[in-house]
Amino acid sequence: MLRAYARYEPLDFDISIYTYKCNFDVPEDFGEIGAVLVENEYSKKMFFKNIVLDNGVTFTCESWVHSKNDNPDKRIFFADKSYLPSETPNGLKSLREQDMISLRGNGEGERKSFERIYDYDLYNDLGAPDEGSSLARPVLGGEKQPYPRRCTGREMSSIDPLTETRTLLPFYIPADEDFSEIKQVTFGARTLYSALHAVVPVLKSVFTDKTKGFPLFTDIDMLFNQGVNVPAPDDGVLSALPILLKKIDDTKNAVIQFEMPETLERDKFSWLSDEEFCRQMLAGLNPCSIQLVKEWPLMSKLDPEIYGPAESLITKEIVEKEIKDFMTFDEALAQKKLFMLDYHDLLLPYVNKLRDIETTTLYGSRTLMLLTPDGTLRPLAIELTHPPYDGKPQWKHVYTPARTATDLWLWRLAKAHVLAHDAGYHQLISHWLLRTHCATEPYIIATNRHLSQMHPMSRLLLPHCRYTMQINSLARLILINAGVEDPTAPHGLKLAIEDYPYANDANLVESDEELQAWWNEIRMVGHGDKKDEPWWPQLKTQEDLIGIVSTIMWVTAGQHSAVNFGQYDLGGYIPYRPTVARTNMPNEDPTDEEWQSFVDRPEDTLLKCFPSQLQGIQTLVLYNVLSSHSPDEEYIGGITNATWEADPTIKATFEEFRGRLNELEAVIDSRNIDPTLKNRYGVGLVPYQLLIPYSESGVTGRGVANSISI
């Protein structure tokens, strides 16, 4: 082992970048240098970009190095050359193992900000029992509440020993998972925290009645045309969201004015269209929930003793009446033309609990649709169900596209309820739990614990892990309160709808102990509550590995981009996609006065069902932040890895991949102007651009980020 001391030369004082240099002589028989051990003698941690030797050997670091005052152990960095465990040079084997052990920790104690320890825990930090019993939340994870695992690091609650304490920022995550300074200044965790904990109180001071709805549809439009007058920003509070802060006048008032969402800009009345209602399920924010109808009659799987009769009121006769111009019911079922958005069994157990909350309601819902000859979906019926409550029997009703004025407004209200259900499912299940954020964190933890820096799979996966743990920790702190399991079956939709914008866009492996430990821990620990499920793939061959890694990369890049970066443009106009329904359907046990109010002013009834003014504006603030690309965003195929650059074969393959991504953008653009693809092209339609690979910073409605970074 060779030793030397490095001294710095300032490179850029403005951004605190320094070059450290040292000299040492390497004996001729020393062999190839494969690792560098670094000791930081300063009192605080330092960020290392890379280490370069005179002979051209590079050590890409991109990592924080702790002070020796905090931890006397030296940091280990390996050269950019990759090695499988079985190929590791003898001189590096012990260092390879030592480095991974340091990342696992011992499972004890509270984590410190300088540490790089990755360990697992249940989701036991969603509540705050130390601040009152009303703020306690159930622990998610375990046999009763299956849930993925997350990174741990804080002390336990003094009130509930099963709950971790919830702290304000900073929030422990391993040092290398934190946002860069650029992202912190723009659209990162600090902006999100500021938006909800600083801007929202200002809004509450203006909208003192948190239950008040929008009196007129023009009041919703004013959020984009004129803005909201609020008190002038104090101590930089509102400056956290400069894109929303339009002006400050001499009277010390400020105006928060929202950019016009693309749905509103293209067609203000698209939300009234049945076709657009269905198109959202294929080319909107939540395109993975629609299912093919395979069995009839539609039946609930819930206990009828608790939730009431299981059979749906959507009958064959109702469907026949709606599709008689196209085909018979039997033909539609046999030809796979019937589709359903089914939130009936998922939501019904929560209906009574939600209805106990003031100005909030819920139903179990089913929405039945027909695939028409031109490839678009047409709604046939919506069924809303309320389970037995307070001695009253189950209530359910089927709504169909209207032929009378009363039915028209009931149909519009039923669609608003369904959209609210879909918006909730999108955020909690499609976006958070099953398909992106929450499901990904165990993969990140296991990758750092079991795949060495030198492992080629580590270098392939880590760009897809960037910032995810940071944004997840912030989500737990300020957004997420509870969760439910998704029971949906495979939908079979891709095989039946050709114009589906979202969908269209061995021995060596088995003997690799790092890969096997990585995959075993993901299954047995990270997703331990589902470890015995039959759908887990085996990891024995190179084909298995390709499938697993490709899936992880798709989830972190394409899947997340599809459900995240369109939130402002596709969800920002409240009538187009309400996030909550606040009132019951007018025909559910109304009083004479309530029914007459609906008959006289149906528009008022619909506006009262939409989110309140405060809820709507809070959602716009949140959507604006979450839909924004940071200036330092890394896009799929955009930035190569130093290790790949050094290998001609890998570099050529990556360049080929990048070229195919450019072709993909051209294909998507051509599809969006193809008049035969009616789910993409048409007057007033927002083109489907969420899977176009690259984007500028800000709210663009496009761009596939490498990782779940917001």
Tokens of 235: 């101590």
Q: Any idea which residue has 């060596």 for tokens? A: 508
Q: Any idea which residue has 């190929």 for tokens? A: 87
Cα–Cα distance for residue pair 627/187, rounded to 1 Å:
9
Cα–Cα distance for residue pair 323/326, rounded to 1 Å:
5
Closest CA to 572 of 287, 253, 199, 266: 266
Active-site residue, selected from the candidate residues 386, 417, 426, 431: 431
Cα–Cα distance for residue pair 196/472, rounded to 1 Å:
16
Please tell me what DSSP assigns to residue 245: E
CA atoms within 13 A on the CB side of 355: 17
Inter-helix orientation angle 437-450/468-478, to 10°:
130
- Hey, what's the torsion of the CAs at 517, 537, 444, 79, to 10 degrees? 60
Active-site residue, selected from the candidate residues 117, 650, 708, 710: 710
Cα–Cα distance for residue pair 368/292, rounded to 1 Å:
10
Burial of 55 (0-12, 13-18, 19+ CB in 10 A): exposed
- Hey, what's the torsion of the CAs at 168, 170, 174, 176, to 10 degrees? 140
Beta strand ranges found along 56-183 (DSSP E): 58-65, 75-78, 120-121, 150-151
Active-site residue 564, yes or no? yes
Active-site residue 560, yes or no? yes
Give helix then strand counts, H and E, for the chain. Answer: 27, 18
CA atoms within 13 A on the CB side of 343: 25
Cβ pair 349, 302 in contact under 8 A: yes
Cα–Cα distance for residue pair 602/409, rounded to 1 Å:
7
Active-site residue, selected from the candidate residues 40, 564, 584, 679: 564
Cα separations in angstroms, 647 against 50, 149, 189: 18, 36, 36
R_g of the chain, CA atoms, integer Å: 28
Active-site residue, selected from the candidate residues 386, 417, 426, 437: 437
Burial of 432 (0-12, 13-18, 19+ CB in 10 A): buried
Active-site residue, selected from the candidate residues 560, 617, 629, 636: 560
Active-site residue 546, yes or no? no
Cα–Cα distance for residue pair 368/344, rounded to 1 Å:
12
Q: Which residues are catalytic?
A: 431, 437, 560, 564, 710
